[in-house]
Amino acid sequence: MKKKPLIALIGTGGTIAGSAPSRTQSARYLPASVGVEAIVDGIPELRENYAVSLAQPFQLASYDMAPRQWMQLLGVVGAALADPAVDGAIITHGTDTLEETAFFLHLSLDTIKPAVLVGAMRPSTAYSADGPANILDAFRVASDGGACGRGCLVVMNGRIHGARDVSKRHVSSVEAFDSGLAGAVGEVSDQQVRWFQRAWRPPVLSLDLRAELPRVDIVASYAGSDAVALEACVKAGARGIVHAGLGNGNAPPGVREALQTLVNKGVALGRCSRWIPGGLTRNSTMFDDDRLGIWTAGALPPHKLRIAMMVAIAHGLKGSDVQAWLDRVVEPASTA
């Protein structure tokens, strides 16, 4: 008899574990109200085809997820995948911050084994629940050899996304997640996996699980904005600031001067564009990033640049070493 793949299923809550008073309700429900064991029991095919180990480190709506839960989850997932018998791990998660948790693990989880985040846009009690199909797809991906060496993946609605590029782009549709210009890395159809892109991930930075991640805040520019928000974040103890700039990372007059003095005050500064696609120009006509010690990361959006800065600072990288690592986060190393 063929040995069943052993998959660690780690529940954290979210809509995929949500319930509503009526099966016709899909938008008004209580998230994080069904345990991971009940989710598995509701999908008989899982135990038929896989050996499953279960863990439930916490039960949250993902809008309640915070850096301390990321660190806790890093420990739980890392320990599960360190077991030689375990083939892969799946983390059930709410969709509001799913891409953030995925990217954090992508940068800090040191393993070639698959780690797959999966969520749902509709609660488990709804007639139209998408969770069971997404979980079945996630198990198939986590047990596929082609998933190895890709870092953290997200499986939703038949698509496999890389943690670097995936974003939630719709409030309620089951097609809420996509990877923008980069595209999905693969798909699952009738439990068959097809890969579109080669396996690649950036260098992982190890973290002390006993430590807290540093505070890094996001400050967005807009027409007529000034330095009030920047100054408030610094006063609150931010170790770093992500400036979500206009267009190609630009800043209006009221913000420019304050940004250019942040690094001298001991506050790390990362620069990116304000929620629009396209790779940022480093050393632009407005910002001499090399001279000012500003970090950039291509097309990373603000919330992901924030996570990368948190990980880099927590690991102990400094100055140009951070920029060299960020360059590897957004682009594979040259093989020429």
Q: How many CA atoms lie within 13 A of 179 on its CB side?
A: 22
Can you give the three-state secondary structure of 262-310, one letter per residue? HHHHCCEEEEEECCCCCCCCCCCCCCCHHHHCCEECCCCCHHHHHHHHH
Kindly give the interhelix angle for 98-108 and 67-82, rounded to the nearest 10 degrees.
50
> Rounded to whole angstroms, how far apart are CA atoms 107 and 93?
18
Do residues 307 and 315 make contact, with C-beta atoms less than 8 angstroms apart? no
Start-to-end Cα distance in the chain: 45
Amino acid identity for residue 136 in this structure:
L
> Rounded to whole angstroms, how far apart are CA atoms 19 and 152?
27
Question: What's the residue count for the chain?
Answer: 336
Cα of 225 vs its chain's centroid, Å: 29
Burial of 204 (0-12, 13-18, 19+ CB in 10 A): middle
Do residues 245 and 274 make contact, with C-beta atoms less than 8 angstroms apart? yes
Q: Which pair of structure tokens corresponds to residue 6? A: 């052993």
Establish whether 285 is a catalytic residue: no
> Rounded to whole angstroms, how far apart are CA atoms 134 and 16?
9
Q: Which of 12, 15, 97, 101 is catalytic?
A: 15
- Catalytic site positions: 15
